Structures are given as structure tokens and as C-alpha cells.
Amino acid sequence: MAHRIHRGVGQQAALRGAARLTRGSAAVALVAIGALGLRSLDPAPQPAGPRWYKGNTHTHTLNSDGDSHPDDVVKWYRAHGYHFVVLTDHNVLTSVQGLNALHGLDGSFLVVRGEEVTDRFGERPLHINALEPSRLVRPQGGGSAVEVVQRDVDAIRAAGGVPSINHPSFGWALSADELAQVRNTRLFEVFNGHPMVNNAGGGGKPSLEAMWDTILSRGVLLYGQAVDDAHHFKRHDDRTASRPGQGWIHVRADSLSPRHLLEAMERGDFYSSTGVELSELKATTAEVTVAVKATTYSKYTIQFVGRGGRVLAEVQEPRATYRPRGDEGYVRARILESNGDMAWTQPVILP
């Protein structure tokens, strides 16, 4: 990163020099033109205050069971308009320093360190992401599914990382009742792009979103993330592959740094998406307002959801406001797009 900053300063100096130039030589003029050309690669100056960053917090590489080198994985996310990606290989903590030196760009793109702590209880796979831990976290095991998850969550916290409970219905690993018992964590996956994780439920099992409402209705605050869990970057035409670009989050953070991104995630200042982008999001105990960046070909339905998963209001427009009465328990919004894309905002707990 250091050489990039240096280059940027150098360009600014060259530009200032060019501006002062009244009768410069051809060589100096060429330097100025070169500087102007390079300048367009730099990010535009950003206004102060928080902004939205798009990212995926769950991805695999050749360092575990992915099919691509970390370098290619990072390049995929940068080339597809993401601001950040977390590399989360199974029980491997991939160094991101070199990747950021090659692909990182201040304020525009960041690779965040991560690990998918990959544990189990009997046949039940229990996977918990460690976001930005200071060291590798080994699976802790335990005497029940809840105890395994709790011990892994606590080990992730002890390593300075932020835990997120992954794909609860992969292998039908965790029930809503079990998930609600885990403490010391705020994040779980309400959507995972892997084709075998049973997001939608069925056959007597609840969807992840229904589980979320069950947990929130018990007064346990969890925020729901949408993620790729991408393993396969070379099997574009294979629907059984876990491909990138399926689910992501938009985080409202003070800067594109691991600390600011993770702080925003843990206070619920983000929304999750499988294709719907928002132009406005306000979520307070007095008002929840959602506006969609509408496409020309889509229609939208916005639902506000409260205790027990009850739909409190439904609006057939790309913008809607809900003003809580105070007895709803919590309010969150779900946005449905006419081709099946969705977005989920995070719950506001009512006092």
C-alpha cells in the first residue's frame, strides 16, 4: 500500500506543478499528461462521513476446498464491483498483506483476513466464520452442538475476531432453538449462496428467515448476512457448483478498514442482498424507511416484519416507510424483486 500512497502524492505534486507551468518544455508537458492519465485510476475524493461498501464475507480458495488461487478470487471480487472480500478457508488463515499490496486500493478495495472455523458435533457440520482474527482459531469441539458453537465463538472473540454463524441448515446442523442459545455473537447467515445449504427450508424444516424471526421473537438479537460461500470460480455453467456473486452485504462504515466495517456489522448498520440495491435506508425506533435503486424492468414489494414473522405492512412500491406503534417487538424490512432477487434490512428492537 505504501508505494500506492507515494504514487498518489507524486501525481498530485505533478499536477500542481503542471498547473503552475506557464511555458514549460515538451518533456514537462508529457509528464503532466502522463500524470493526468494515471490520475483517473485513483478514487474520486470522497465526502466525509460514512458511506456504503459492498462486500462478501465468506469465500474459499485453493488454501482449502476452493478451485482458485487467492489472487484470482480477489481479482474476481474487485472486477465485479465489490469493495471488500473476506477470505475464509476451512481452518486456514490466509495472509492478506501481499494480496492487498497487489490489489488493495485505499477507499476502493480491501481484502480482509478470515477463517471458517470448521467444527462438528457428531455428523452435524458446525462452521463459524472468524472475521479479522489476530491468529488462527482451532475448532474447539464440545459436548453438544450449542456447546461446540459457543466454544468456537468464544475462541474467535479471544483471538480478537468477529464471529458469524454460517449456514445453520447445512446438514440441518442447528435448530432455531439451538441458535438462540448461543451468546457473544451478533451475526449469522440468513442467506448462503452454496447450493446445498437449505436456505428456503421445507419438508418440515423452517427457512433461515423463519428461524431468524423465531430467534428475534425470543429477544435474542441477531443480524442476518447474505454471503456467497463461493468455492468454484471456474464452473460458470454448473448449477451444482458454489459460484460467486450470489449474496452479499452493503455496509455503512466510516471508512473501508476492517475495524470500521466490522464495527458497523456488529451494530447492524448493513443490509443483505441477492440483487436488490437500496438508495435509502433509515432504521430507528421511530421510523424504518427503505428505498430501492429500481431497475427499469422490475417491480418491488416491500414488507415490514415484526414479532413472530408477522407482516406488519406491505407496500407495492420501491419506497416505503413504517412508523412503529411500539408493540411490534422488532421491525425489519424484506424487499422482494419481481425476478426473485431480495434484500433484508436488519431488525430494530423496539423498547
Nearest-approach distance from CB 45 to Zn ion, in angstroms: 37
Binding mask 72-91 for Zn ion (x = CB under 5 A): --------------------
Cβ closest to Zn ion, residue 103 vs residue 232: 232
Q: Which of residues 28-67 bind Zn ion (CB under 5 A)?
A: none
Nearest-approach distance from CB 209 to Zn ion, in angstroms: 19
Cβ closest to Zn ion, residue 209 vs residue 229: 229
Q: Using CA of residue 115, residue 121, residue 122, residue 125, what is the dihedral sign?
A: negative
Cβ closest to Zn ion, residue 56 vs residue 214: 56
Give the range of 62-70, 165-173, 174-182, 314-322 binding Zn ion by CB under 5 A: 165-173
Q: Using CA of residue 154, residue 160, residue 166, residue 171, what is the dihedral sign?
A: negative
d(CA 273, CA 334): 10
Can you list the positions of beta strands (E) in 95-153?
110-121, 124-131
Nearest-approach distance from CB 111 to Zn ion, in angstroms: 17
Buried b (16+ CB within 10 A) or exposed e, 228-239: bbbbbbeeeeee
State the residue for C-alpha cell 497487489. 102
Give the three-state DSSP class for 171.
Answer: helix
Dmax (CA) for the chain in angstroms is 80
Nearest-approach distance from CB 166 to Zn ion, in angstroms: 5
Binding mask 121-150 for Zn ion (x = CB under 5 A): ------x-----------------------
- Torsion of Cα atoms, 219 then 259 then 168 then 144, to 10°: -80
Secondary structure (DSSP) of 7-43: HHHHHHHHHHHHHH-SS--HHHHHHHHHHHHHHTTSP
Cβ closest to Zn ion, residue 116 vs residue 213: 116
Give the range of 64-72, 104-112, 115-123, 143-151 binding Zn ion by CB under 5 A: 115-123
Nearest-approach distance from CB 229 to Zn ion, in angstroms: 4
Cβ closest to Zn ion, residue 130 vs residue 335: 130
Cβ closest to Zn ion, residue 24 vs residue 171: 171
Within 13 Å of residue 32, how many CA atoms lie on the same side as its CB?
Answer: 15
β-bridge partners, 147 = none
Cβ closest to Zn ion, residue 196 vs residue 311: 196
The span from the first CA to the last CA of the chain, in angstroms, equals: 45
Number of residues that bind Zn ion (CB under 5 A): 4
Nearest-approach distance from CB 156 to Zn ion, in angstroms: 14
Nearest-approach distance from CB 251 to Zn ion, in angstroms: 20
Nearest-approach distance from CB 213 to Zn ion, in angstroms: 23
Burial class (CB in 10 A: 0-12, 13-18, 19+), 37: exposed
Q: Which of residues 222-251 bind Zn ion (CB under 5 A)?
A: 229
Q: Which residues form the interface with Zn ion (CB under 5 A)?
A: 116, 127, 166, 229
